[in-house]
Amino acid sequence: MGNQLKTAALLAALSGLLIAISYWVIGGTSGLIIGIGLAALTNLFSWYQSDKIALAVYRAQPVSEAETPGLYRIVQRLSQRANIPMPRVYIVPSQTANAFATGRDPEHAAVAVTEGILNILPEDELEGVIAHELTHIINRDTLTQAVAATVAGAISFLAQMVSYSLWFGGVGSRHDNRGSNPLGVLLTVLLAPLAATIIQLAISRTREFSADAGSAKLTGNPRALARALQRLEATARQMPLNANPAFEPLLIIHPISGQFLGNLFSSHPPTEVRIEQLLKLEQQLPTRAY
């Protein structure tokens, strides 16, 4: 519940930032309408197309049960346990080790894993990873991330429009008589996209903790996911899965170097913190029978 409230607050902050930049920079009611209309159009597009775009970005290919029986069996078993429709299964042709889920709801969802993750993870750790991705689907995190990305993109687009207008006559002379402060406009153009990115990444970090907890409960084996995260981070640092940065929050892990700035601009919480939380959850779960 705490993570859900935090996510709602961050989405509200992101939406408020879009309204503020539209009102302050473009101009009053007209700017507000433009900002809301732009957000509505991008969100409508992401609602129906975000899964197709994400799968295309990572060049994911659909696979059948005959092609990957082990993976298919894990996804099928965990989906039944979670009481959701089985998502489509995809393989990403990359030797790096990673995974992601996409889709606006459980009825239109997909789980994708790389060839590399299938090569390095034993079955119990792969099960923890798949349960993590299914939890994203159950919690509608894939839709939340799509909304956050499109609103952040709208803010960046507005800021870019204003930066162009500064070169071609300014922005304050074409709307009401407020007489926009050029320095204030410049700071808005520079800082608004940065703030939007930080909020978007904060939303992603919040949802990762929830997905880790959901995986622990779904499998009853949080230590397996903890081991998987350690293994995935080590391999991802050596061989990162490169793609459009807008889709990095979808991945189960995206290590970044550095401390304060690294954490601030990372789409994921520090792996050691995630592992620590998982091991705490292990103490709270009933003993698993083997």
Tens-digit pLDDT profile for residues 16-54: 776 676 666 666 667 667 666 766 676 677 677 778 888
> CA nearest 282: which of 199, 232, 213?
213
pLDDT tens digits for range 128-161: 999 999 999 998 888 777 667 667 766 777 677 6
User: What span, in angstroms and rounded, lies between the C-alpha atoms of 194 and 196?
Assistant: 5
**DSSP secondary structure code for residue 24 in this structure:** I
- Indicate if 276 belongs to the active site: no
The torsion region of residue 258 among left (phi > 0), alpha (psi -120 to 50) and beta comes to: left
Mean pLDDT of the chain: 79
Candidates 133, 208, 233, 248; catalytic one: 133
User: What span, in angstroms and rounded, lies between the C-alpha atoms of 113 and 109?
Assistant: 14
Helix (H, G, I), strand (E, B) or coil at 65: coil
Q: Using a cut of 0.85, tell me whether the model's pTM lies above it.
A: no
Question: Both ends of the chain: CA-CA distance in Å?
Answer: 31
pLDDT of 271 above 80: yes
User: What span, in angstroms and rounded, lies between the C-alpha atoms of 195 and 129?
Assistant: 31
What integer pLDDT is reported at residue 83 of this predicted model? Answer: 96
What integer pLDDT is reported at residue 70 of this predicted model? Answer: 95
268-288: average pLDDT:
86
pLDDT tens digits for range 165-200: 666 555 544 444 444 556 656 666 677 777 777 776
pLDDT of 58 above 80: yes
H or E element in which residue 260 lies: helix 260-264
User: What span, in angstroms and rounded, lies between the C-alpha atoms of 265 and 171?
Assistant: 30
pLDDT of 258 above 80: no
pLDDT of 222 above 50: yes
What integer pLDDT is reported at residue 41 of this predicted model? Answer: 72
Distances (CA, A) of 200 to 36, 48, 152, 197: 18, 20, 7, 5
User: What span, in angstroms and rounded, lies between the C-alpha atoms of 127 and 134?
Assistant: 10
Distances (CA, A) of 123 to 3, 71, 138, 212, 225: 29, 9, 22, 17, 11
